[in-house]
A and B are shown apart, each in its own frame.
Chain A
């Protein structure tokens, strides 16, 4: 075999041709820019506290810098982009998924602890105990708002002792949300306060108002008679806990569960993701509401993939044997028509079947009704739904087997059949003693690949049944036709609870299975590198 060391091929010296020199410099500049851009990403992710991503781009940027500066790694420059793509979009997500499976990452534990703290600190509440009854006083076309505190309260300090406030004249026809300053005064305005009827009429405008005292305390409307101050609900303490001023209790961060908890154990959402060890895995094994559906889906996934391979192989093999028969004319037309299901985009043909199997207006039930008088409930009965999936998937998948079998049967030497015919062997003998044994061996790795593909046939399930009908009594979204992949997808993206940790744990189990199949495949097919 012909090989070369790429480093030897490139001239070391400064090129004589200006165009080549400029190209070389342009390439160097491009690589340098890319490396700098990656390092900027590293810094940005690091500052955001997302060390996994920072590490990813650090590795990427560093390896890029090394590969493109060292002459001994010249050959690696050619493969770097593809390997980087594989690393960032296949291997990193895989590792990240495995990492998530040991955490409680979910829609309730999504943000980092700092962000959760910041979000809680920005919450405010209305201190209704320190309400300011208000009245409206007309002044020409406009209206002044006058506030007077009922009694002394703990807020007196924050208000610098002021108890009476008045606003500038306002136009109450304006209902937009706005912020308005109020000034302390000694006495109420001269004009008579407006009647309750008019206050109610101005309700829309009043609700949009935020009043700010000179000391910066915000007041908002609290009922038809008073405004009340908006205060920061939580106050940070030095030991990391938060003081809840409204309910007067202390929230301590619980780094085991990723929530702030009160003394009586109440969890305050949102939380942040924390490592939970093997919890997600033990839940799959121990929690009966998860284990039951999981086992059921697991068995169905294997059955689905196995039966699909079996059915498509039988159909494909029979058709291939027929099409190999020399006496048959019009093979090309048959072949083209037979691989049509393969040529139509799967997402279209699956949806066509979804319409055809519709229980009320679908053509399948119409034909069955007129022939046998039955209307099977394809989408509500679990066994019928599974049957439908297998029918559709056989339709989708047999052309692949047909093509494989045709290729393999063609490569069997014809004189074997001649010899068999001379010895009086019939078609059955030919099939069992010659054809099958000779094609089964090269077919095995492809069958495994086909099994693995259907094991993870997400598109079919997602588009045809969506996993329905549901398994009763499951605590996660689980359907009787769900495969493991679509089950993981639904746990992660469909449910309101979006439990990424649990989904990642199941995904990790599937990774192991796929890796097993893939290694087996590699061994059986004896790939030459």
Chain B
């Protein structure tokens, strides 16, 4: 019996293994067989997207079309985390994108240089993980094949999307801020928004600038940051800047979902720095502000860096008085006194009943930059404006300022020009401070009638 079963298992083994081999071989064969047809599929999809005037799409004609194709509609992909832990950002980004697309199509008459072609927003949910983001990108590409995609806020999800867009030669305008995203040698990526380390640098520059104005000297600083990749890059930007000015500092990292920060605040109090540069997420921002207040820690100044946390309307609601005088660096300046910025902010408030935060702001100017690039592509390459290389060329040749574009009017520095790696050369952030329970832009150009509060009035040295 045992002999037979052994023989039996042996044959089983042989057959199973061969099945696996067959499966693999089948896969390989199918893979190679599918390579060519799959490519034509994508070609037809691009064609359907561009909606050529002739109803029969001639996919394989190698001759260059002399007459420019008439484009009625251009799809713009948006991949954002609409579900899961990061849904806050994604949902707001989607709202902002819908608003801007509406403005472009109805108020600005579409892409003028392309005969008033309309933009159509196609949205996919990036979920919570890189795989989900990748799935979303594949789905969007397969179903819609937009020539330009915007996404995906969270860096590792943006990286997953970029892998797909690079392969498909689709322009990806990133709203993920982590530095390394533009250091991968990717060809079709652009980022209008200021990268993470620029946020950290801005926070330090702001504090030093204010201290200089008020004749205060800063000798010791503490950098505390949540330990995600974003927080770490922001903190590194701050550390570099502190080191440049010869200021001593300590660094403390913590996971953003920490249950209690009392030990960290105690550590800060023990070190007793003049200023604290804090890079929070939302959860820990509430906890930190409340704990710092309750522990009676009174440094000269506490400056936030990295966009989210202290100055968001939700954080102010959740932390109350505790976040008074906190600042934060912002990739967007909702108070920038340019014509279009005022207009868009007003429209956003009217439509959604809240002030746009950073997630919306980045979309505002990124989408407007996309519009400018499309206009430019139509001028530079009228024969095929939606070709990825032509689009890339158009992006790189942009030089947007307040005078010549809406996009720059929405941007904190008012100047957008891309470096070859896709980053904006003139990237910069605004600084927002909570004054009397309301967020106000205080730096570099303060809102009318608003003065930054510096140093903190509860700092013992402030009285003298």
Instruction: Verify that A and B bind, or say they do not.
Output: no
